[in-house]
Amino acid sequence: MENQKQTSFTFEIDNFSEKEGLIRSPKFSSGGCEWIVRVHPKGKIVNDHLSLFLHVANPESLRLGWKRLASYSFFLVNQSGKELFRINEALSELFCAQFPGSGRAKAVPLKKLQEKGFLEKNKLRVKVEVKVVEVVDQGDATGNETFDVKGFQVLYSQVISVTELFLKHPDIAANFRLKNQSVKTTYMNLLLGLIETLKKPQHTFSETVLSNAQDELMELTEAGFKVDWLKTKLDEVSLERKKDNARVQELEELIKNLKLELNKEKSKTDASDAKVLSLEQTVSDLKDVLNKQKHESAAKVLLLDQTVWGLKDEVSVLEYEVSDLGDELNKEKGKSADKVWTLQQTVLNLSAELKKEKGKFDTCDAKVLSLEQTVLSLRDDLKKEKAAACSWEVLDYADLPNDK
């Protein structure tokens, strides 16, 4: 494929100082492909620089074997298009389905953006020049393709990790002098493996793992890698491991003492278990007695219920009898009332007759009184006559001869 014509594209970001997250530019075409620029106002991977990346616009639609070799440059420009700052010289980078973007994490220091002229009316203007140099391969990928990152051939699956590694530590391979590409790839794989190992939780490190990590770190250092930051990390891990070992010994001693205390308590517990068993048996016996009493009480209650129901029946019969007697009494009261009225009438009649008779009695009383008066007079006369007769008898007896 012939070299394509270079394309230039400029876009503005309003209110730039207020932006925080990722900003995507509009799409633009170059070399038969669509591209976008990704801007990180507060940086990506690093946080003190503006980060700029060139990306294929539609990576999800690319075939696995799609590849383009392209050169690009970033610039900051003013309103008239004059270049204020060049981000990088045009370098050729490979873009593919597995790695559809490339750029500069440390494009511009954020402090520099505060200088006069870069942000006119709080607008940032970014210009990108893109030229597709070559279509490397349009066939299907095998999964074993490699990509060149700073002179190291790495698998596509490792491209992002290696790129970020060089962004964070630009001089990591400055002293690496080995030229054999296979040896370089081996050392890069060793470095990536050591980094992944040191990312694991500290409690997963064994003495063997730490020893192997020390050997790998020494081998990388001797090969020319600047990995002081890895040595610091490994020293921290080793120190924490020693602390963990000390804690483990303390815990083991504590566990030993606790086991002794546990055995003592277990002996006490055995005695307590016997007491508990005895108490449980006593409780069981008491429950049996209680259940028996409950059954007996239930039978008594049933009998009482039956008696009560019998009494209720008797009371009901008596209530009916009382009701009947009440009816009869009411009837008798009615009859008695008639008799009383008749007797009262009779009494009234008798009272009237009595008054009449009383008048007659009053007349008789007068007669009786008169007769009584006559009788008294006669009695007085009789007494006088009798006294005279007695005096005569005395005289007669005196004249009689004495029988002696």
Mean pLDDT per segment of 10 residues, for the chain of length 404 residues?
A: 76 92 94 93 88 91 82 92 84 81 89 85 93 74 71 81 83 88 91 90 84 92 91 89 81 86 82 80 82 78 74 76 75 70 77 75 68 78 71 50 51
| Amino acid symbol at 220 | L
Residue 204: strand, helix, or coil: helix
Residue 1: what pLDDT?
44
Task: Quick: pLDDT tens for 2-32.
Answer: 457 889 999 999 999 899 899 999 999 998 8
For 142, 259, 296, the CA distances from 272, given in Å and listed in that order, are: 73, 19, 36
Sign of CA dihedral 343, 345, 350, 355: positive
Residue 337: what pLDDT?
67
Task: Quick: pLDDT tens for 151-181.
Answer: 888 887 787 788 888 878 888 988 888 889 8
Q: State the fold for domain 1-141.
A: 2.60.210
Token look-up 């500290």 returns 202
Q: What one-character-per-residue DSSP string does 39-102 give?
A: EETT-SSSSSEEEEEEEES-GGGS-TT-EEEEEEEEEEE-TT--EEEE----EEEEEESS--EE
From the number of C-beta atoms within 10 Å of its C-beta (0-12, 13-18, 19+), residue 230 rates as buried
Contact 49, 106 (CB under 8 A): yes
For 190, 192, 218, 237, 251, the CA distances from 205, given in Å and listed in that order, are: 18, 17, 18, 8, 18
Residue 322: what pLDDT?
67
Contact 84, 78 (CB under 8 A): yes
Phi, psi dihedrals of residue 382, rounded to the nearest 5°: -65, -40
Contact 67, 79 (CB under 8 A): no
Distance CA 41, CA 44 (A): 9
Give the bridge partners for 123, in sequence order.
120
Residue 267: what pLDDT?
80
Q: Is the pTM of this model over 0.85?
A: no
Residue 368: what pLDDT?
60
